[in-house]
Chain A
Amino acid sequence: MAERRTRGTSGSDPSRTTAARATAIAEQLHHESCILLELYRKKEKLTVGELVADRRLVSVPPPSSQLDTGDTLWRLHSALLQCRSLLERAIAKEEQELGGGKKGDYETMRKMVKDRLSLLLINTELLRAVDGAAVLTPNLDELELESPSSLFELKLWIYRIFKEVEHWSKTAITTLQGLPSVMDKERARGARLRSMRSARR
């Protein structure tokens, strides 16, 4: 409790600071990914019918209330890592198959989203380190690696990847915003357990 009080008064809890910064980055990423989706939809004149039949490309364990902070962070970090990997492949593939035109707002926003996602990953990594969890690189083996068989499918695939980025940036906001209170509870629970054990001894 004393430790908790000290942190509360000093206001320099590194996990809180990192979480706040990561939340801000996630919010910015979500905003930019929404713009990117809109720019792409306009560029490729995609219709709603094509977009509803989407399926998930990022594969992570399902969310559960039983997951502790470390697992939650790991799940988020894993999803974001997959997003970045997919985004990099999408950009490369798009440039290779559909590039050649003048670079405009879309290309600028695409690069911005990619850079912002990398920044968010750095911060979630830091957060996990602060939290004391082992910094394990999530396994990307489950990531869907098959490429689209036609250009039209490529376009839809790219859209789905952008959609994944948007979805996981939104999830990151929710997760990161709720993180400090969860961590406080866990610390409190841990302290109680320690005191009970020492009392038994």
Chain B
Amino acid sequence: MPDVHALVNDFLIKLKRRKIEGSKATAKVTAEVLRSFISQQRLPNTNQAGALIDAVKAVGEQLIAANPVELAVGNVVRRVLHIIREEDLSLTAAAIGGLSLSAGSDDEDDVGHDEHPALSAAAVAAAARSTLRPPSLQTLLEDVPHTAAVPHTSSSGGDSEGKSKSADKNSSTKRLKHNVIEAVNELIQDIVTCHEQIAEQAVEHIHQNEVILTLGSSRTVVEFLCAAKEKKRSFRVFVAEGAPRYQGHTLAKELVTRGLQTTVITDSAVFAMISRVNMVIVGAHAVMANGGVIAPVGLNMVALAAQRHAVPFVVLAGIHKLCPLYPHNPEVLLNELRSPSELLDFGEFSDCLDFGSGSGSPILHVVNPAFDYVPPNLVSLFITDTGGHNPSYMYRLIADYYSANDLVLQRRSAS
């Protein structure tokens, strides 16, 4: 137990100090931390799922608060909560099914589950989703007065039914945790391999002699382009360097070593070059439910230029980047201002910065935001590991991965 706390605290500090960068790395570490947290969690006999959800939520809140801009943390926390709910649901479904079929077959059913646990979680979850959703809609409707009357426990409202049903299933005490951990493992696996799945689709999107523009650096984009290259497509890539972090340089270097024809341009030349570009392929920081994209700074400009020249603007995003929230004023609220030293030499301008002449407000501001918001109407296509999607479809895709009960995680701390 203490080492889990240490683990969480360590991660918290890293997040706060922005030691972990990149949504993918963050998502992976978050999932790992949550996994060890769940495995260490001691569960009561009754209402296991509810207890687990509450515990995970408590940790998740801290993690999100540590770096509210890194939406991947919240996404993974929500995913884990969703997994817990689904596992719980599948267990109860199995139990109900077992009960309804025959009391005697109960043991067989359990044995059957134990034989292939890794497969069971996903399969049963999917089955539960398909079989239980329609009735659950009904229960949801029936539950309306119930949840409305008790808004505080709305999050555990779903659990209450689980509690009542799982109460008689003492044998599933360990199974829930086990299944959840298996599912989280799968999630981690998904996060790690998401770019491979995205890259598989590359040949469908890149044709011979294409000219592709990208900005900044993204592992997914590199894999995507290289996958197309490996399939004997020859095309050219323009890389905007992505000041002030100049990640484009590393991207260009990587592409060159893999044998791609690469041209590095300044960010300011994006508009000049985009008229000769066939497609813009970029990575994202996060994808919002409305189809908007939180992306590295500068991409809004690129998207506008692409729209002007009717160039497709394609965003590659692993599922851990899908955020179930609808953004409000994301340019400001979901942004982060980085150090001015990336833009200006302090040594040179320190006298200017001190020029405030006692009025309190400095005469020189340096604005160095980290992210841009690309509205959905500028995005032509999202390519996720489940395939290509319209921006307008993202909300539905997201609904598959998250439970509606978890959308607001910070509610309790606020109330």
- Our verdict on whether A and B bind, yes or no, reads no
Interface residues of A (CB under 8 A from B): none
